[in-house]
Chain A
Amino acid sequence: MLKVAVQTACCAPATLLYPFVKRQRPKGFRGMLKFYPEKCIGCKMCMRDCPSNAINIKKVGEKQFEAEINLGRCIYCAQCVDSCPKKALEATTNFELAQVDKKKLHITFVNPKNEVE
């Protein structure tokens, strides 16, 4: 035990000085969602399958949809990603989502065609 302890003392510590040093998240990490409005067909399968009612698909025009995601409710399970038949949802690796203001946790992915109007 003493030998291992001394060896450990001589090597670099295992602690990372987060947030100055950050580790890379693995590729499949389930972080914040990303929505592609141009691919969405409005079937609302993601809304049906979401365990916590975190995503809301809104119709903003003829075959144009927007998604409102409540980051506070989302459990980052990515079931909506699997349920979507058109692959309009994707899980990014962004997990630093903390906010002080709860209203900032509601993210809307606007449809660019809607903005132009």
Chain B
Amino acid sequence: MAALLNMLVFPGFLFLSVFGMYCSFLERKLYARLQSRIGPPWFQPYADFVKLVAKENIMPEDANPVMFSLMPVFALTAVTTAVLYIPIWGTQALFSFTGDIIVVLYLLTLPTVAFFIGGWYSTSLYARIGAVRTLGQLFAYEVPLFMSVLAPAILAESWSLSGISLYYSQHPWYCLFNAIGFVISLVAMLAKLEKAPFDIPEAETEIGGGCFTEYSGRLLAFFKLALMIEMVVGGALLSSVFLPFGLASGPVVGFILFLVKSVIVVGLFAVAHALLARLRIDQILDFCWKLMIPAALVQVVVNLIIKMVIR
């Protein structure tokens, strides 16, 4: 019973949806203010969701109905499950076991694959180009993201998110060694969430919607909700690995700090969106493989050396 409540309400689906949509509003508001516009009111993402759910679901004739309809639900489930392993209000997550950091990273990859499959099975030209671009971008950012998130794990000698948080709460100053990794993982998270400057899979001015071109109604609402929740979960992952301040000072304080950290990460995303133009897919691949991966390698090596020094 308690587990069901956890899954559905807190920190499960309901909390994530509400908080995710609120973060989406914050991002759009900050983005608008940076451009000297007013921006949407606080209820805009909720209103969008309700409107989309109420609209008709149109499926293209050639599309595979099972895959087409399944992918949004699949993506939503994956991101909602990932939050169960991330410590939100203390150093212990709801469920934890050794190696759950890999599981969380894997669960966060699933939405991207769901977008690809959804776009591919839409059989429309624009959707297929968008789907292929999503996959191409996956090749670019996965390696730096994994390496930079695993580097603090090497220092903490633990493969469980809860263990990592515990370690860093006990030795808070060691977080500074992961600074490079933090920057790299922020950039890679931008690419994962398909936000500017890496939003070419959904480049509106070129292919009018990318993987989501043929989606409408309820399925589109779920895809968008999955994206918003992915933003929160990704932010939570980054803040639990790189910024575990205050997680040990009790559940309420820890939870509030978690909210604050997520909002800061969302604010950084909005600033990046406003200040940078979109990169082409070949430029993204160049940038990630030639710049980010060497930097991530440097971070891993630095952490290994420090571990040896500590011993």
A–B direct touch, CB within 8 Å, in complex?
yes
User: Residues of A with Cβ closer than 8 Å to B?
Assistant: 1-2, 5-6, 8-9, 11, 13-15, 17
* Interface presence of B274 (CB below 8 A): yes
**Across the A-B interface, the 3 shortest Cβ-Cβ residue pairs:** A9-B33, A14-B36, A15-B38
* B21 surroundings in chain A (CB, below 8 A): none
User: In the assembled complex, which residues on chain B have CB atoms less than 8 Å from the CB atom of A9?
Assistant: 30, 33-34
Q: A residues within 8 A CB of B37?
A: 13-15
Q: Determine whether the beta carbon of B38 is less than 8 Å from that of A5.
A: no
Q: List 22 A-B contacts (CB under 8 A).
A: A1-B275, A5-B34, A5-B271, A5-B274, A5-B275, A6-B34, A8-B33, A8-B34, A8-B35, A8-B36, A9-B30, A9-B33, A9-B34, A11-B36, A13-B33, A13-B37, A13-B38, A13-B39, A14-B36, A15-B37, A15-B38, A17-B38
Q: Which residues of A contact B36 (CB under 8 A)?
A: 8, 11, 13-15
Q: Chain B's nearest CB lies how many Å from the CB of A22?
A: 16
Q: Which residues of A lie under 8 Å from residue B33 when comparing CB positions?
A: 8-9, 13
Interface centre among B30, B38, B39 (most CB of A within 10 A): B38
Whole-angstrom distance from the CB of A81 to the nearest CB of chain B? 37
Residue on B nearest A11 in the bound complex, by CB: B36
Determine the distance from Cα of A2 to Cα of B35 in the docked complex, in whole angstroms. Answer: 11
Residue of A nearest to B35 (CB): A8
Residue of B nearest to A12 (CB): B36
Chain B residues with CB below 8 A from A6, complex form: 34
